[in-house]
Structure 1
Amino acid sequence: MQLRFLGTGTSMGVPVIGCDCPICTSPDPRHHRLRTSALVRSHGMALLIDAGPDFRTQAIAAGLRRIDAVLLTHAHFDHVAGLDDLRPFCLRQGALPIYGSPQTLADVRQRFAYAFDETSTGSSRPAITLCAVEAPFQVGPLPIVPIAVPHGTWTITAYRIGPLGYVTDASAVPPAAIERLRGVQVLVLNALRAEPHPTHLSIAEAGEVARLIGAPRTFLVHMTHTVDYRADYGLPPGVTFAYDGLEVEI
């Protein structure tokens, strides 16, 4: 299994428009963060986790030519705004299955209503099949476990894909979710900034969740422009910041 981090930034990305802070103006490419998304390759398949507004750029950078399924964590703009850019894949492959919670898919159907308008003719639109999941399911031979986690007042979906755990935009990871994630070899976890936030884990909170889950390797994502990749935040051993384009073998 291979994991590629397509993006590791928050909803505004990094650099932030009009910002001259040291991170936004940093020459270090690891500080340039597109909106958080990931690609999982395994058993000859490619699974996309979220498709935000930077998806077209991310797909070209990754040389992506095929997607077998899309897993959505939730329907906030920075995680679904790129669904229209699935069109080239749909034209080549046919309808793509989109997995997510019933609420997430209801929001997608409303936001992208034109994609489901059977009376529309003469223009291209993404061909997507919505697949609601609340229990473990499979994509090809890959077992996938959806895991509910809070995102402030929202409930969103984390995923366990065999040896990989993927959690983004969580404000907490409840004990039941921690139990379902134990035993993964690689954990992806959001860590917004050093200071606490009402809808996202802070860096310290993410470090504690990582310690409880105990994966050999944990990669932090969804960072703001206040996070310096080079700084020491007192993270536990095996926990580090991911960066755009990083590829990890699992």
Structure 2
Amino acid sequence: MNKDTLILWGTGDSMGVPRVYCSCEVCSEARTTGLNRRFRSSAMLEAAEGELLIDCGPEWRTQMELLDKRFIGHVLITHAHFDHIAGLPEWADACRWLRKKGHVYAPADVLQTLRKQFPWLENQLIFHDCSAGMDWGNWRIQPWKVCHGKNGYSYAYRFDRTKPSSYSWAYCPDSINLNAEEKAPMFGLQLLILGTNYYKEPVDLATRSVYDMVEALELLEETNPDRALFTHMSHGVDFRTDYKLPARVTLAVTGMKLDLN
């Protein structure tokens, strides 16, 4: 029986929640009971072949400690923005102390940016170009470029498994205003994990970089996944609020564990 699972390590936007300078109701609540506390977005695929972390943000060390982990060997990167890669230097240093090599998977242009930003990483981490896709045990993983609004572009990943049971899901934390070609890999999914910074973001589209929930629901009507999770949520999202989402749509919570069957 297949036991592949996905654990959400973080579900926050680029600034996390609470924002250090902010005293809004959501940030204030996050500092007290912590219901809205959100680390930067990342997720861990656990399969028989081992663990594959998706993105390695600035809370990587805290996330590792909370899960009582001392080492991970493989990280898949969506794009080279701070909130998705800031943990790589600490991970590389852990590899140095443990005398183990880590493996980083990303499209060639993302790897090139990492080399420019952190030229010492390859002393401890082995870079793998996955532009043409990659296999992780029974999973076929395929990157595709998506519009990231004012921030240029990002990559999303589609995961397809045909044995021992068929399952398809996608991870797309940073996208907006996708065209038909960019939406195409989102069809035929059992699960779509999609970034939504706000319920409704009241600013001009040209200044934005991630879908809001209202727009995301329109995308789901078109692509029709069996289930969807909204992640990458800012302090504009309050877990205490009922957003009247469809039954198949859930707000992602840190530590949520999903059975990929």
Shorter-chain TM-score above 0.5? yes
CA apart distance, 1:92: 4.5
Please tell me the residue identity of whatever aligns with 1:212: E
2:152 is equivalent to residue 142 of structure 1: no
The residue that corresponds to 2:12 in the other structure is 9
Range moving further from structure 2, 92-101 or 105-114: 92-101
Q: Is the 8 A contact 1:158 1:167 kept in 2?
A: yes
User: CA 1:236–1:90 in structure 2 vs 1: closer, same or farther (change >3 Å)?
Assistant: farther
Rounded to whole Å, the distance in 1 between the matches of 2:40 and 2:170 is: 19
Q: Is the 8 A contact 1:178 1:212 kept in 2?
A: no
- Note the aligned Cα RMSD (angstroms): 2.0
CA apart distance, 1:133: 2.4
Rounded to whole Å, the distance in 1 between the matches of 2:98 and 2:138 is: 23
Aligned partner of 2:153 among 155, 171, 175:
155
The residue that corresponds to 1:70 in the other structure is 75
Please tell me the residue identity of whatever aligns with 1:41: E
User: CA 1:230–1:77 in structure 2 vs 1: closer, same or farther (change >3 Å)?
Assistant: same
Q: Is the 8 A contact 2:104 2:126 kept in 1?
A: yes
TM-score, length-normalised on structure 2?
0.84
CA deviation digits over 1:38-76, x for unaligned, max 9? 111112411111101111111121233453421111001
* Contiguous gaps of at least 5 residues in structure 2: 161-167
Rounded to whole Å, the distance in 2 between the matches of 1:248 and 1:93 is: 32
Superposition map of 1:205-216 within 5 A: 205-216=215-226
Please tell me the residue identity of whatever aligns with 1:241: L
CA apart distance, 1:185: 1.6
2:192 is equivalent to residue 171 of structure 1: no
The residue that corresponds to 1:115 in the other structure is 121
* Contiguous gaps of at least 5 residues in structure 1: 117-124
Helix, strand or coil: the match of 1:23? helix
Helix, strand or coil: the match of 2:26? coil
Rounded to whole Å, the distance in 1 between the matches of 2:113 and 2:52 is: 21
The residue that corresponds to 2:129 in the other structure is 132
CA apart distance, 1:130: 1.4
Rounded to whole Å, the distance in 1 between the matches of 2:99 and 2:144 is: 29
CA apart distance, 1:175: 2.1
2:109 is equivalent to residue 103 of structure 1: yes
Rounded to whole Å, the distance in 2 between the matches of 1:66 and 1:181 is: 32
Superposition map of 1:14-93 within 5 A: 14-26=17-29, 27-87=32-92, 88-89=94-95, 92=98
The residue that corresponds to 1:120 in the other structure is none
CA apart distance, 1:30: 3.4
Helix, strand or coil: the match of 1:29? coil
